[in-house]
Structure 1
Amino acid sequence: MRKIFEPAVRLMDRLGYPRKFALMAIVISLPVLAFLFLLISEINRDVSFAKKERLGVRFNHAVMKFFQDLQQHRGMAAAFIEGDASFREKILERQSHIANDIRAIDALNNEYGKAIGITGEWSLIKEKWDALGARVFSMLSARESFDMHTELINDTLSLMVRIADISNLTLDPEIDSFYLMDTVVNKLPAAAEYAGQLRGLGMSVIMLPGDITTGEKTHLIVLSGLCKSAVVKITESMEKVFRTNPGLKQMIETHLTHNNASIYHALEILESRVINPAKAHIGPEEYFDVFTKAGNSIFTLHLSVSAALEGVLQNRIDGLTGKRSLIGAFAALMLLIMAYLFAGSYLSVMDSLSNLMNALKRMGSGEMNTVVSLKTRDEMKLVADSFNEMAKKLTGVMEELKRSNEELEHFAYLASHDLKTPLLTVGSNLKLFHRRYAEKLNEEADRFIADAIKSTIRMEKLISDILAYSRVGTHGNPFGPVDCSEALSISLENLKIDVERSGAEITHDSLPAATGDPVQLVQLFQNLIGNALKFRGEEKPHIHLSAERKGKEWVFSVRDNGIGIPEEQTKKVFEIFHRYHGEKYPGTGIGLATCKKIVERHGGRIWVESEPGRGSTFYFTLPATDKRNGEAA
C-alpha cells in the first residue's frame, strides 16, 4: 500500500510545512473552484439567455404597436379609396402614430442592435412604408392598397418571428413562458391580422354598390373561421399557462375574456349584417368601429400577455441572480472556512514545531531538564512525549558525562601538573649544569645539553597546549555579545612582539559584534594570526581580516600571503598534533585544532582555502548578535 503513496511521500518530504499546506489547499480548492466556476458560468448563461428574451419581448411589443397602427391604416385607406372622404383626417393621424412607432423601434434598434440584429429587415419595412404612405392619397385602387398594406403587414409579422428567433424566445425551455411567447409572437398577431383583413375587406364590400358576390362572401367566411380558430388557440394556450403558473391568471384572464367577447361580437355582426343578407345592412363607420374595437382588444391582450411574459422572465432572472449570489456567498463562506481551518491546522503544527525547536535550542544551550508541553492531542503530542522521555534519559546521561568530564579534567590537570613539575626540574637543572660546566665541556656536549633544554621547553609547551585544548569545552565563559574588533585588538596586543619581529602588516575591515565567549574568541584570532606569522614566506607578511553577514551568521576570513597549504592537507591541518611541515617550523600541532574546537563550541564551521606559494585564507562562522536584545539572531 505504501508504494502507491511513495511519490506523494517523496514530494511532501521535500517541502516545508508552509508549502505542504499551500499545496494541499490548492489541490483541494482547485476542483471546488472549477466546479463553482462552471456552475456560475451556467447560471450566467441562463441569465443572459433570459435577458435576451426580455429584450425580444420589448422589441416585439414595439413592432406590434407598429403592426396595429398599420392594420388600422389599411382599413382607413380602404374606406377613403372607396369614397369616404371623412377618413382622410384619420389616415393622417394614424400616419403620425406610425411615425412615432418607427422612431420607437429605431431607438431600440440603435441601443440593442448588436444583440437583436434586425437592421436589414427593419430598413426594408421602412422603405416599403415610405413608398406606401406617399401613395395613399394618389390614384391607388382599393385592391392595390389592400395588397400593399397586406404585404407590409406580412413582412412585419415575419420580423416579429425573426426577433423571437434571435432573442431566444422560440427556444424558451419553460412551459409557461413558452406558451406566453407563442401567444405574443404567433397567435395574437395572426388573430389581429385576420380581424384586420375582415375589417378591410368588409369595408370594401359594404361600400361597393350592388349585392355581395359569392366569392366575397366565401372570402369573408374563411377569414371569419380562421379568426375564430385563432381565438380558440389563444384560449387553449392561456389555459395551459394558467395551469402551469396560476399566479398569471388574475393578470390575464379579464383581458382574455374581453378579447374573446369583442371578437365574437364583431364576427356575429359580420355574419348577421354582412354575410347572410344579400346586401350589407351596416354603415362603413359602424363596421369599422366594431372591428377596430375587436382589434384593440387583441392589442390590449397582447400588452397584458407581453407584460406577463416579461414578468416571468424577470422573475427567472431574479431567481437565477439570487441563486448565483447564494452560490457565490456559499462558495466564499466555504473557502473562508477552509482557509480558517487550514490556517488553524498550520498554526497548530507550527506552534508545536516551534515549541519543540525552542526546547531543542534550550537543550543545546545546556538546559538538559527542558520539558515540552503541548496543548494539542494529535501526533505532535506523541512527539513531545517522546522528546520529554528522551530529555529525561539524556539528562541522566549528561550528568554522568559531566561527572566523567570533571574526573577527566581533574586527571588532566593533575597529570599536567605532575608532568610539568619534573620537566621544570629537569629544565632548571640542565640550564644550571650548562652555566656551571659550559667551559669544561666540549662543543658536542654543549649541543646535546642545548637540545635537551629545547626539548623540555617544547614538552612544557605541548602539555600547556593539551591542557588548553581539553578545557575549551568545559571551562569556557557563558556566551554573550562580543565586539570582535576589541577581541582582535587584544589578540594583536598579545602578539605584539611577534608582529614587530616579523614586520607584518595587519589590516582589517569593520568587524561586527557576534555571540560567543570573549576569551575564546581572543584565543581564536590570536591562533589564526599567529599561524599566519609563523608560516610566512620570504615576502613581508600581509594579513587581512574581514567579515560578511550571511543570514543569521557572520562569515569571518583571515587572509595571508604565506607559504600556503597543499589541497590534500586543507582538512588535515585541523587535526590535533598534525604538522605536515614536520620540525621545520616551531609548534605543537594543537593551535588549529583548538581553533576548530572553539568555533564548533560556538555552533560555527571553520575551513581553509589555500594554494602553495600563494597564501591561505581561513574562514570561520559565528552567530550574529540581535542588536535589539543582544541575543543571537
Structure 2
Amino acid sequence: MRRLHLPGFSAISNLNIANKLGLIVAVMAVPIVALLVVQFFAQRETQQQAARERDGLEYISTVIPFLREVQLHRGLTLRVLAGDTNSVETRNQAARAAENALAAINDMDSRHGDRFGTHDVVAFLNQQWAAVKDSTSSPNVTNEAHTRLIQEGIFPLLATVATRSELTLDPGLDTRAVIAALTESLPRLTESLSLIRATGTETLITRANLTPTDQQKLFLAAQLAIAAEHAAALDRQLDIAIGENPEFAASLDPAVKRAGTVRTTFFDMTRGQILTAGNLSNTAAEGYFYMGGSAIDTSNQLLAAAQDTLNREFDQRAADARQQFYLFGGGAIVGVALALLLAVVISISITRPVHHLADVADRISLGELDANIDIESDNEIGRLAESLRRMQTSLRAAIERLRQRRQQAA
C-alpha cells in the first residue's frame, strides 16, 4: 500500500491516540474561539456605542439650559432697551445663569471634545457670548447677535454631538425619533417661541396705546407659522416614539400634552393681544413674557422626561449584549470542555485495552501462552482480542503437536 507523503502527515500519524484526539478537539475549538472573538468585539462595540450615546445625551442636556438662558437674556435685554428698567437685575441674573451653563458646556468639551469634535464650536460660543452678554446696542443689533450665537453656535453644537455620539444612528426607531425631536425640532421650536416672546413683549412696551407696525405683525405671524411647523414635527417624532415604546408613552405623553396646552395658550395670547388687538397695553407685557417663558420651559421639559428612559435604553442594550456574550461564551466553553472530556474518555477506552493487548502479545512472544486476555467487547479491539486468543490456541496446539512428534521420534 502506497503511503501518503503530505507535509506534516508523518508527524500526525506518529502521534499517540490521546494526542490525535486532542488535536481533533483543538481543531474543532478554532472556529468556536473565532466566533467568541467576533462576539466579544460585537459586544464591546455595542457597549461603547451605548456609552457614546449616554455621553452625547448628557452633553445635549448641558447645552439646552444654555440655549434657554441665552433666549431669556435676549428677551430681557430687549425689554431693557425698550425702557423696562425693572428688568435690568433679572437680565443680569439670566446672564449669570448663562455663564454657569456655558461653564458646564466647557467642562463637557474638555471631557468629550476630542471624541465629538466640539472644540471649535464651543470656542465660538465663548467668543460670541462675551460679545453679547453686556450688549447695550440697538434692539436689532442685540437681537441679531443673540440669534447668531444660537443659529451658528448652539444649533451646530447640538447637531455635532448628536452625530458624533451616534445618537442619530441608534438602531431603535423609537430612540432615533426622540433624538431627532430633542436635537432638531425642540431647539428650533423654543427658538421660535423665544423670538415671539421677545418681539411680542417689545411690541407691547414700545407700542403702548398704539397698534403694532406692519413689520412687527408680519414678523410675529411668520414666527407663529414657523413655531407651529416645528411643533408639528416635534409631535410627529414623539408620537412615533410613544407608539413604539411603552416607556416613552409613560414618561413623554403627559409632558407632550402639557407643553401643547401651554404653547396653544401662548399662541392665542399673541394673536389676541397683539396681532388682532386694537391699541396695545404695556401692562400686558409682563404676563405675556411669563406665558412665553412657560411655553419654552414646558417644551424643554420634554428632554428631562425622555432622558431617564433613553439612559435606561442604553444601559439595557449594553447589559443585553453582555448577557448574550456570557451565554454564548459559556455555551462555547462548556462545549469545548465536554469535547475534551469525551476525548479523554475515548482515549482511555482505546489506549487502555490496546496497552493490555500489547502487554499480552509481549508475554506470548516470551512463551507465556496462558496469559489472560481480559477484554470482552464487540468492537474492533474486541475482535483483535479474539484474534489473539485464537493465536494463543493455535500456538498451544502447534507446540503440543511438536512435542508429540518429538516424543514419537524418540
Q: Same fold (TM over 0.5)?
A: yes
Match of 1:25 in 2: 25
Matched, 1:319 2:320: yes
Whole-Å Cα distance in 1 between the matches of residues 60 and 48 of structure 2? 18
Q: Match for residue 221 of structure 2?
A: 221
The structural deviation recorded for 1:148 is: 0.8
Verify the 8 A CA contact 1:79 1:284 in the aligned structure 2.
no
Distance 1:400 1:207, change over 3 A: farther
Shift of 1:176: 0.8
Any idea what the Cα deviations from partners look like across 1:15-52, whole Å, max 9, x if unmatched?
32233123212221112221332233223223322321
Partner Cα separation in structure 2 for residue 279 and residue 314 of structure 1: 56
Q: Which piece of structure 1 moves more, 159-168 or 319-328?
A: 319-328
Aligned to 1:370: 371
For residues 412-458 of structure 1, give each alpha carbon's deviation from its aligned partner in whole angstroms, at most 9, with x where no partner exists.
xxxxxxxxxxxxxxxxxxxxxxxxxxxxxxxxxxxxxxxxxxxxxxx
Matched, 1:95 2:114: no
Higher relative contact order (CA 8 A, sep 6+): 2
Name the SS for the 2:115 alignment partner. Answer: coil
SS of residue matched to 1:211:
coil
State the partner residue of 2:182: 184
Give per-residue Cα distances to partners, 1:290-334, cap 9 Å, x unaligned: 011111101111211233222222222222222122112112222
Q: Post-superposition shift, 1:57?
A: 0.9
Indicate how the Cα distance of structure 1 residues 391 and 280 shifts in structure 2: closer, same or farther if over 3 A, else same: farther
Q: 1:362 to 1:267 in 2, by over 3 A?
A: same
Alpha carbons of structure 1 residues 287 and 14: separation in structure 2 relative to 1, 3 Å: same
Partner of 1:383, secondary structure, is helix
Counterparts of 1:375 and 1:198, CA distance in 2: 98
Query: Which sections of structure 2, spanning at least 5 residues, go unmatched?
Result: none
- Provide, for residues 528-547 of structure 1, a one-character-per-residue CA deviation record: whole Å limited to 9, x for no partner: xxxxxxxxxxxxxxxxxxxx
Q: Corresponding residue for 1:286?
A: 287
Structure 1 75/398 Cα, relative in aligned 2: closer, same or farther at 3 Å?
A: farther
State yes or no: 1:148 paired with 2:145.
yes
Q: Which residue of 1 aligns with 2:380?
A: 379
Query: Are residue 200 (structure 1) and residue 198 (structure 2) matched?
Result: yes
CA apart distance, 1:244: 1.5
1:324-377 Cα distance to aligned partner (Å, 9 max, x none): 221121122222222222222222222232222332343345432223334765
Q: Could you tell me how far apart the structure 2 residues matched to 1:280 and 1:397 are?
A: 135
State how far apart, in whole Å, the 2-side matches of 1:173 and 1:280 are.
Answer: 52
Cα drift, residue 229 of structure 1: 1.8
The structure-2 alpha-carbon separation of the partners of 1:84 and 1:399, relative to structure 1 and needing over 3 Å to count, comes to: farther
Letter in 2 for 1:90: T
Query: CA, structure 1 residues 327+271, in 2 after alignment: closer, same or farther (shift >3 Å)?
Result: same
Q: 1:181–1:309: 8 Å Cα contact kept in structure 2?
A: no
Structure 1 unmatched runs, 5+? 412-633
Question: 1:243: which partner in 2?
Answer: 243
* SS of aligned partner of 1:115: helix
Q: Secondary structure at the match of 1:33?
A: helix
Deviation at 1:62, TM superposition (A): 0.8
Change (3 A) 1:100 1:392: farther
Native 8 Å contact 1:177 1:313 kept in 2 = no
Q: Secondary structure at the match of 2:280?
A: coil
Q: Distance in 2 between matches of 1:273 and 1:29?
A: 78
| Distance in 1 between residues matched to 2:89 and 2:218, nearest whole Å | 32
Residue in 1 that maps onto 2:121: 121
Equivalents in 2 of 1:9, 1:380: separation in Å? 25
Q: Deviations over 1:466-510 (max 9, x none)?
A: xxxxxxxxxxxxxxxxxxxxxxxxxxxxxxxxxxxxxxxxxxxxx
Give the root-mean-square deviation of aligned CA atoms: 2.7
What secondary structure is seen at the aligned counterpart in 2 of 1:86?
A: helix
Contact 2:247–2:309 (8 Å) recurs in 1: no
Deviates more, 1:179-188 or 1:337-346: 337-346
Contact 2:248–2:306, Cα closer than 8 Å, also in 1: no
C-alpha distance after superposition, 1:164-209 (max 9, x if no partner): 1111112223211110111111111111111111111112212213
Give the % identical residues. Answer: 19
Q: Shift of the alpha carbon at 1:11?
A: 6.4
- 285 and 400 in structure 1: CA distance in 2 versus 1, 3 angstrom threshold: farther
User: Separation in 1 of the partners of 2:382 and 2:397?
Assistant: 23
- Report how far residue 260 of structure 1 moved: 0.6
Gap change, CA 1:17 and 1:128, over 3 Å in 2: same
Equivalent residue letter for 1:159:
L
Q: What CA distance in whole angstroms lies between the structure 2 residues aligned with 1:58 and 1:394?
A: 90
1:246-292: CA deviations, max 9, x gaps? 23211111111101111111111111111111433453221111011
Deviations 1:374-423 (A, max 9, x none): 4765433332332333233334345556x48997xx99xxxxxxxxxxxx
What is the CA distance between 1:242 and its match in structure 2? 2.0
Please tell me whether the aligned partners of residues 263 and 294 of structure 1 are also in contact (alpha carbons under 8 angstroms): yes
Judged with a 3 Å threshold, the aligned counterparts in structure 2 of structure 1 residues 120 and 242 are, in CA distance, closer, same or farther, namely: same
SS at match of 1:153: helix
Q: 1:105 to 1:380 in 2, by over 3 A?
A: farther
What residue in structure 1 maps to residue 343 of structure 2? 342
| Deviates further, 157-166 or 197-206 | 197-206
Identify the residue that residue 234 of structure 1 maps to in structure 2. Answer: 234
Which residue does 2:309 correspond to in 1? 308
Distance in 1, matches of 2:23 and 2:38, equals: 23
Question: Which residue in the other structure is 2:80 paired with?
Answer: 80
**Structure 1: distance between partners of 2:400 and 2:367:** 11
| Matched residue, 1:38 | 38
Q: Which has the larger radius of gyration?
A: 1
Distance 2:155 2:384 in 1: 82
Q: Which residue of 2 aligns with 1:112?
A: 112
Aligned counterparts of 1:404 and 1:262: Cα–Cα separation in 2: 123
Alpha-carbon distance between aligned partners in 1 of 2:109 and 2:405, rounded to the nearest angstrom? 99
TM-score, normalisation: structure 1: 0.60
Aligned to 1:162: 160
Conservation of the 8 A alpha-carbon contact between 1:25 and 1:342: yes
Question: Displacement, 1:157?
Answer: 1.0
Structure 1 counterpart of 2:272: 272
Go from structure 1 to structure 2 and tell me whether the alpha carbon gap of 1:278 and 1:31 turns closer, same or farther (over 3 Å shift): same
CA change 1:360–1:308 in 2 (3 A) is: same
| Partners of 2:117 and 2:160 within 8 A in 1 | no
**Kept after mapping to 2: 8 A contact 1:176/1:244:** yes
Higher-helix-fraction structure: 2
Q: In structure 1, what is the Cα distance between the partners aligned to 2:303 and 2:311?
A: 12
Say how many residue pairs are matched.
Answer: 404
State the distance in 1 between where 2:350 and 2:377 align: 9
Assess if the C-alpha contact under 8 Å between 1:176 and 1:245 holds in 2: yes
Query: Structure 1: how far apart are the matches of 2:232 and 2:376?
Result: 79
- TM-superposed deviation, 1:12: 4.5
Partner of 2:48: 48
Judge conservation of contact 1:374–1:381 (CA < 8 Å) in 2.
Answer: yes
CA 353–89 in structure 1, closer or farther in 2 if over 3 Å, else same: farther
Distance verdict in 2 for CA 1:375–1:396, change over 3 Å? closer
Tell me the SS of whatever aligns to 1:272. Answer: helix
**1:380 is matched by which residue type in structure 2?**
I
Question: Residue 202 of structure 2 aligns to which amino acid in structure 1?
Answer: S
CA displacement, residues 75-119 of structure 1 (integer Å, 9 cap, x when unaligned): 111112212122222222222222222232233333333432212
